[in-house]
A = this chain, B = another copy of it.
Amino acid sequence: MPKPVNFQEKFALFTEQWAPKVIAEMNDYQFKIARLQGEFIWHSHADTDEAFMVLEGQLRIELRDGAVMLQPGELYVVPKGVEHRPCAPQEVKLLLIEPCGVLNTGDQGGERTAVNDVWV
């Protein structure tokens, strides 16, 4: 019997922050869950939009001209090429949807780049 992916079951399998884990694929896109807390780095993705959906907690996506606040049950798509910085004073659990191969640090690289394509 095929089984759906349950977000909470998947989150129970790791506690690492800033390390997106793949939970499903759709064509050449991936669904990734992540725990974030604190401030990330400013970056952008030159070739793709990136969708953020909050599952638990609150996420602030800073943009150069403002910020978007996301609560559970909310979705925001950062357009390609737009600089953004995810921030969360408390841990937030979120779902990312983006093409396979997209790195969390986009054009910036550096020490906060997570290993890509890790499934949970």
Q: Which residues of A are at the interface with B, using a C-beta cutoff of 8 A? A: 1-8, 23-27, 29, 31, 48-51, 55, 63, 66-71, 73-77, 80, 97-99
Q: How far is the CA of A3 from the CA of B63 in the complex (A)?
A: 12
Contact A51 B26 (CB under 8 A): yes
Contact B6 A73 (CB under 8 A): yes
Q: In the complex, what residues of B have CB within 8 A of residue A80's CB?
A: 27
Known: A55-B73, A73-B55, A97-B97. A27 touches B48 (CB 8 A): yes
Contact A6 B74 (CB under 8 A): yes
Contact B77 A3 (CB under 8 A): no
Contact A74 B27 (CB under 8 A): no
Known: A29-B29, A48-B27, A97-B26. A7 touches B73 (CB 8 A): yes
The winner among A4, A49, A50 for most chain B CB atoms within 10 A is: A4
